């Protein structure tokens, strides 16, 4: 969703290479390798009640994503965890979005950049809802994207790498211009893959069906939702799904750290209802992310 306040002009601090700097001073040079060659990885995390949900899993994935892009983040997962918590506290938020990002710097400019310094920054801001709240309750509308998720032999699909989101931005812009909230992306084989920033699920005859994540990110929220469904005795089938099958599904929802669990009412010409399984998992997920004892947040 659009925000009236530019992201480079906000208040507070950003954790940057081990120190807190004023928000507006967290900058990189125009010849930073990551800007030209997408040599960067990131995470999206959410805090509820002052506690970052599944923080360790997110930050472990950040480190693994960097390794897949052939660089090592110069901080341990424990140090990144602590930095995320300290940044959340400094910003003074209880419910917030946390964005760690690691990238190659500006020492070398060209495809080859083995000697570039690896940087890490962590920013925290308030991001209440990824989709319009009123639209979300009745189910969002999805377009069918022109662009497809690539063959994993052409890109590191298990990494949360910035370059992999180029076609997501293009697909979401095209969908929004047509009045949709987001877009469903197929993979290079023409099978259902994911949305531009969220995994997707379908429901038929009380069974949940979701694409096998063999060329896109196996989301942490995705795995959480599968666990919640199975805890309720709901069968979850991970398999290849063809677009022509969509007319036979009754319900559809997407999930991700930003999207949480969001019902889908339409995908192009296909229609779905916001049924009991979708509603139950929406509620179960929001219950699961709440800390058992809210953590006090004090601005430093």
The residues, any chain, with a CB within 8 Å of residue 62's CB and separated by 6 or more, are 41, 42, 43, 73, 80, 100, 102, 160
Per the CB < 8 A criterion, the answer to whether 198 and 165 are in contact is no
Which residues are paired to 46 by β-bridges?
Answer: 97
Work out the end-to-end distance of the chain between its first and last CA atoms, rounded to an integer number of angstroms. Answer: 30
CA distance 235 to 177: 37
For 33, counting Cβ atoms within 10 Å of its Cβ (0-12 exposed, 13-18 middle, 19+ buried), the class is: buried
CA distance 211 to 236: 11
Q: Which entry of 54, 158, 160, 204 is annotated as an active-site residue?
A: 160
Residue 103's nearest CA partner among 112, 84, 116, 85 is: 116
Per the CB < 8 A criterion, the answer to whether 261 and 285 are in contact is yes
Angle of CA points 58, 62, 68, to nearest 5°:
135
Compute the 3-state secondary structure of the chain and give helix, strand, coil in percent, each to the nearest 5.
30, 25, 40
204 is catalytic: no
User: So which residues are the catalytic ones?
Assistant: 160
């Amino acid at each position: 969703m659009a925000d009236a306040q530019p992201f480079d002009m906000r208040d507070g601090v950003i954790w940057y290479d081990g120190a807190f700097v004023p928000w507006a001073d967290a900058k990189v040079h125009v010849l930073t390798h990551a800007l030209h060659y997408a040599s960067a990885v990131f995470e999206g995390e959410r805090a509820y009640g002052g506690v970052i949900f599944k923080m360790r899993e997110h930050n472990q994935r950040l480190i693994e994503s960097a390794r897949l892009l052939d660089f090592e983040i110069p901080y341990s997962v424990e140090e990144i965890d602590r930095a995320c918590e300290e940044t959340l506290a400094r910003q003074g938020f209880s419910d917030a979005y946390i964005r760690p990002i690691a990238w190659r710097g500006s020492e070398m400019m060209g495809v080859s950049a083995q000697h570039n310094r690896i940087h890490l920054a962590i920013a925290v801001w308030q991001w209440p809802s990824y989709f319009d709240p009123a639209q979300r309750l009745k189910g969002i509308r999805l377009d069918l994207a022109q662009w497809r998720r690539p063959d994993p032999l052409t890109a590191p699909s298990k990494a949360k790498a910035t370059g992999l989101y180029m076609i997501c931005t293009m697909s979401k812009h095209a969908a929004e211009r047509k009045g949709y909230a987001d877009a469903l992306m197929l993979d290079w084989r023409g099978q259902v893959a994911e949305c531009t920033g969220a995994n997707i699920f379908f429901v038929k005859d009380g069974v949940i069906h979701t694409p096998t994540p063999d060329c896109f990110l196996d989301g942490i929220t995705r795995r959480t939702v599968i666990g919640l469904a199975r805890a309720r005795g709901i069968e979850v089938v991970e398999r290849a799904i063809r677009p022509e099958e969509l007319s036979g599904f009754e319900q559809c929802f997407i999930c991700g750290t930003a999207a949480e669990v969001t019902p889908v009412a339409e995908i192009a010409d296909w229609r779905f209802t916001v049924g009991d399984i979708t509603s139950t998992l929406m509620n179960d997920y929001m219950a699961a992310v709440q800390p058992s004892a809210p953590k006090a947040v004090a601005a430093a």
